Structure 1
Amino acid sequence: MAHTHPQSSSVRTGAGSMTRRGFLTAAGGAAIGAGVGLTGCGRSEAQTPKSSGPVDLQVWTNDPNYPAYFTYWAKQLNQRPDKRFDYRISSLIQSTDQVVTKLLTSYMSGTRLPDMPGFEISQFSRLQRDDIGGQFAVDLRKEIPHLDRDFYKARIVPYSSGDAVYGLDSDMCMGVYYYREDLWKKYGLSTDFETWDDLLAIGAKAHRDHDVAVAAVSSNDITWMTMLMLQQGGQCFGADGSLQVDNPHTVDALKLLRRGVQSGAFMDLSNFYGAAGVAAMNAGQVIGYIMPDWFQPFVLQLNAPKLSGRWRIRPFPRFTTGHATAVWGGTGFGVTKNQPGTTAALDLLKQAYCTREGQVQRFLKASYLPTMKNAWQDARLRKYESKYLGGQRPFDVYGQIVEDTPTMVTSPYWDVMNARMTIALSETMRGIQSPERAVRDAADSIRSQMAR
């Protein structure tokens, strides 16, 4: 999936080479803004990783839950009589784009890199251009035995560049349907629907009779378009790097979203995560959501704590073809190579993310679904009851669909695709263009930019 620019001048580093254009594009101009020169930039001299003793690991991420979880495991390892390292964890919490921008700037300026950077899935695409990630990140496929056997492919592929894997995802990010059980009962709505057409019909009636919506979406966010497309079996990009977003499933996803909004079954929110979205959630105007698993702990519970016990989950409705679920989001943690903390960081990541106990504890402490297959058999998870979901056992639902989780192929041109498909989505929802024409025009524009 790496894309090269053979006519561009190269930046030479101790780890190899990359194009000047590729690095600046990935950095978003950070090098210029920081006053960093390109001549001789990069970490020209590798540092020897420590093999034992005190080590101060830096975790860079957008979510404080991650360093808290790594700190938990660092303390566990520190207490072992056969410990190799004496861990101390520090963190830098930044927006998802700034984590990668600061990482690239640090690399180019020769300053300290984070030992364990967290790559949000859309930002990871910046490291795929010219395989920039390979300049400073450990290839985890070479370090973790049986990676492809033990982990779900759906959460390995998005953090790959060529054959290398630079991040381990923290969550399955599986989509389910959330619904307010109390209001569905109050309005006499059946939750035993099978297809998306069934849900649209129920939602249209609920809107007419009770002025509520069975889902909320946003016409300026491709989350729902992409999930509905992925569920049917489509992809934005192919494994060979080709653009594939102009597939029939994308058109069908846009048609479904437009029908839902036009009928009132779906509420179109300009700021899904903002004040309007939270108000609609708490007022009972939206009685269902089409969202990934992380929506419950990090959106519902945080913004609607008084609704605890009233929500339930169930699998997505089905299309005639495709999968039982879809995916959206994710944060993959990697390890920077040739650093004093490289070996210690690998040991910590392996314990926290590559053991059954680590995967179970990650859910119990941070609410992230296991990405290792064997953790799904753990009795603590299978018997886990969610207070917020009214005592429902979420793994009864997630366990039905995890084996059918589709992957989401990423690309160095993800940001280009995202921006142009957002326009296509908006124009479709506003009736400016047909779904077919909007997708075709967007794909032509994206391919034109990919060819530059």
Structure 2
Amino acid sequence: MRGPSPHLTRRTLLGGGLALGATACAGHRAAAVRTSGPVSLSLWTHDEGYETFFRTGIPGADRRTDFRYRLDVTRAGAADLVTKLLAQAVAGRGIPDLMGFEINGFPRMLRGDIAERLLRDLTGDIAAVPGLAADLLPARTAPYRQDGHLYALDSDTPLVVHYYRHDLFTRYRLPVDIATWEEFAEVGALAHRRHGIALNAVVTGSDVNQVVQSFQMLLNQRGGALFDVEQRLTLDSPEAVEVLEFLCRGLRDGFVIDISDYYGGAMQAALKRGTVAGLAMASWYKVYGLMANVPEQSGRWRIRPLPRFSRGGHATSTAGGTGFGVLRGTANERAAVDFLRATWLTHEGQVRRFRRTGYLPTRRSVFEDPSLLRTEDAYLGGQRPFDVYTTLLADVPPVHMSPDQSILHDVLSGHLLRAYRGDASPREALREATEDFRDQAGR
């Protein structure tokens, strides 16, 4: 970490990290860093579930560390929290000790040296716990890395699986062991012609992040990516064309349905009617999508690994996530690191997080916890979901972020919709999206 201060100037934020504020910084840094005793941690998060998790973890953190914790929690929208953090950093006051960055908001921290100036590099803190660095899944640290530094720890390993209505698959005699997406397309087209159902969905509404997510989940599984580890755009690729061609074919043949979003009234209606009999989505969608919209369908759903692309790729993909980072330069910096390790990263804490939120562990070894392996999910008809999840861990693709992520999402979403409508070929849509991104991002 460089420099004596985490404070930023407006020039830093607008120009990519070109300058540091030097006035109030010295006074801020002069505060002695607490090493033990009572401490009130300032925690910012967008999700009440995270607040509950951390509050219930206080007794364990008190036992495992030299601190006695209380939490002062601020909750707001995910994007609003990042905006507030950057504004407070410019002002040189009022930054939190610990903050959760929803994955689509974190790229704002990657511009210039903002992350380096504001966030603690957690690499050494992870290395200080024997075996922890090797146990953390690399795919879930990748989104929060920059220049070899780790600035946040993810809440989840949001493995993408195929949800399917077991009762409808049984009624219509559809196979549940389809090996490839190419076979899936044949089965799905026939199922749509005969029964009027869809086996996957893409978002075509106004939420650009969801529009891109529908495409990106399969792109990453196929072995493609939006950005590489060097933050370079890699959208215009054969893998991307293949995936977009597959989705466009699905919309034409009816085995993919277009919906306005994954959570709203249109999706709820399609689920209730049985029009959507399957979809590829992350592990957390059972709680926040299916159970929230169609609780009466408990027992009818199952999960299975995604079909594979016959030309290569991975066993699964990921979607979503929230990384918690520690702010530099506060008197509670040491206490916040210890609290994160004592709650977020312990075996017990990761099991508890799954029980309370449905988010999967980020440590490989926790997937082998006997209580998790024995878990039978009533909503999934008594299925043991970790029988599926554990088969996917060896082949989870990483996702790399860019400070220009929001620009790409704005641009790409429009071109994806053009391809879905048939107004452009998949190849044309991706090439034009690439050109528009470079024009707007200046690179």
Query: Quick check: TM above 0.5?
Result: yes
- What is the identity, as a one-letter code, of the residue corresponding to 2:52? A
In the aligned structure 2, how far is the partner of 1:84 from the partner of 1:57? 14
Shift of 1:13: 8.3
Q: 1:13 to 1:138 in 2, by over 3 A?
A: closer
From 367, 373, 377, give the equivalent of 1:382. Answer: 373
The answer to whether residue 72 in structure 2 is matched with residue 90 in structure 1 is yes
Task: Answer with 393-402 or 339-348: which moved more.
Answer: 339-348
Residue equivalent to 2:241: 251
Deviations 1:81-120 (A, max 9, x none): x752221123222221111111111111223212210011
- What is the identity, as a one-letter code, of the residue corresponding to 2:183? D
Shift of 1:182: 0.8
Q: Tell me, what secondary structure is at the counterpart of 1:122?
A: coil
1:2-151 equivalent positions in 2, closer than 5 A: 14-15=4-5, 20-24=10-14, 43-44=25-26, 45-46=28-29, 47-78=31-62, 80=63, 84-145=66-127, 148-151=133-136
In the aligned structure 2, how far is the partner of 1:17 from the partner of 1:335? 14
In the aligned structure 2, how far is the partner of 1:196 from the partner of 1:83? 49
Q: Are 1:213 and 1:288, in contact at CA under 8 Å, matched by a contact in 2?
A: yes
Q: Tell me, what secondary structure is at the counterpart of 1:60?
A: strand
Deviations 1:381-407 (A, max 9, x none): 111111111111000001111110000
Task: Answer with 175-184 or 333-342: which moved more.
Answer: 333-342
The answer to whether residue 358 in structure 2 is matched with residue 367 in structure 1 is yes
Residue equivalent to 2:283: 293
Q: 1:350 to 1:432 in 2, by over 3 A?
A: same
Deviations 1:166-199 (A, max 9, x none): 1000101110000010111112211121111222
Q: 1:22 to 1:92 in 2, by over 3 A?
A: same
The answer to whether residue 264 in structure 2 is matched with residue 274 in structure 1 is yes
In the aligned structure 2, how far is the partner of 1:42 from the partner of 1:295? 45
Residue equivalent to 1:4: none
Shift of 1:244: 0.6
Q: 1:108 to 1:42 in 2, by over 3 A?
A: farther
Q: 1:303 to 1:91 in 2, by over 3 A?
A: farther
Q: 1:125 to 1:15 in 2, by over 3 A?
A: same
Q: 1:62 to 1:424 in 2, by over 3 A?
A: same
Shift of 1:262: 1.0
In the aligned structure 2, how far is the partner of 1:354 from the partner of 1:83? 14
In the aligned structure 1, how far is the partner of 2:216 from the partner of 2:262? 16
Q: Are 2:203 and 2:260, in contact at CA under 8 Å, matched by a contact in 1?
A: yes
In the aligned structure 2, how far is the partner of 1:226 from the partner of 1:304? 26
Q: Are 2:65 and 2:342, in contact at CA under 8 Å, matched by a contact in 1?
A: no
Deviations 1:6-60 (A, max 9, x none): xxxxxx9852786855513789xxxxxxxxxx97687452233211222111221
The answer to whether residue 193 in structure 2 is matched with residue 197 in structure 1 is no
Residue equivalent to 2:274: 284
Q: 1:20 to 1:365 in 2, by over 3 A?
A: same
Name the count of aligned residue pairs: 429
Q: Tell me, what secondary structure is at the counterpart of 1:393?
A: coil
Q: Are 2:7 and 2:90, in contact at CA under 8 Å, matched by a contact in 1?
A: no
Q: Are 1:48 and 1:338, in contact at CA under 8 Å, matched by a contact in 2?
A: no
Residue equivalent to 1:438: 429
- What is the identity, as a one-letter code, of the residue corresponding to 2:97? D
Shift of 1:236: 1.0
Q: Are 2:8 and 2:89, in contact at CA under 8 Å, matched by a contact in 1?
A: no
Deviations 1:419-444 (A, max 9, x none): 11111101101111111111111112
In the aligned structure 1, how far is the partner of 2:428 from the partner of 2:172? 38
Q: Are 1:13 and 1:43, in contact at CA under 8 Å, matched by a contact in 2?
A: no
The answer to whether residue 416 in structure 2 is matched with residue 416 in structure 1 is no
Residue equivalent to 1:214: 199
- What is the identity, as a one-letter code, of the residue corresponding to 2:45? T
TM-score by length of 1: 0.90
- What is the identity, as a one-letter code, of the residue corresponding to 1:122? N
Q: 1:114 to 1:358 in 2, by over 3 A?
A: same
In the aligned structure 2, how far is the partner of 1:42 from the partner of 1:248? 51
In the aligned structure 2, how far is the partner of 1:431 from the partner of 1:138? 47
In the aligned structure 1, how far is the partner of 2:327 from the partner of 2:215? 34
Deviations 1:200-226 (A, max 9, x none): 222222222222211221135011211
Q: 1:283 to 1:21 in 2, by over 3 A?
A: farther
In the aligned structure 2, how far is the partner of 1:144 from the partner of 1:405? 21
Shift of 1:335: 0.8
From 419, 422, 437, give the equivalent of 1:428. Answer: 419
Alignment RMSD, CA only? 2.2
Task: Answer with 215-224 or 151-160: which moved more.
Answer: 215-224
What stretches of structure 2 of length at least 5 have no aligned partner?
A: 206-210
Deviations 1:137-181 (A, max 9, x none): 110112211554121110011001111111000101110000010
In the aligned structure 1, how far is the partner of 2:420 from the partner of 2:132? 41
Deviations 1:274-316 (A, max 9, x none): 1111111122111111101111112111221111111100000
Q: 1:152 to 1:15 in 2, by over 3 A?
A: same
Q: Are 1:229 and 1:235, in contact at CA under 8 Å, matched by a contact in 2?
A: yes
Q: Are 1:77 and 1:83, in contact at CA under 8 Å, matched by a contact in 2?
A: yes
Identity of aligned residues (%): 39
- What is the identity, as a one-letter code, of the residue corresponding to 1:384? T
TM-score by length of 2: 0.92
Q: Are 1:22 and 1:129, in contact at CA under 8 Å, matched by a contact in 2?
A: no
Q: Are 1:43 and 1:108, in contact at CA under 8 Å, matched by a contact in 2?
A: no
Q: Tell me, what secondary structure is at the counterpart of 1:144?
A: helix
In the aligned structure 1, how far is the partner of 2:141 from the partner of 2:132? 9
In the aligned structure 1, how far is the partner of 2:23 from the partner of 2:404? 25
Q: Tell me, what secondary structure is at the counterpart of 2:158?
A: coil
Q: Tell me, what secondary structure is at the counterpart of 2:74?
A: strand
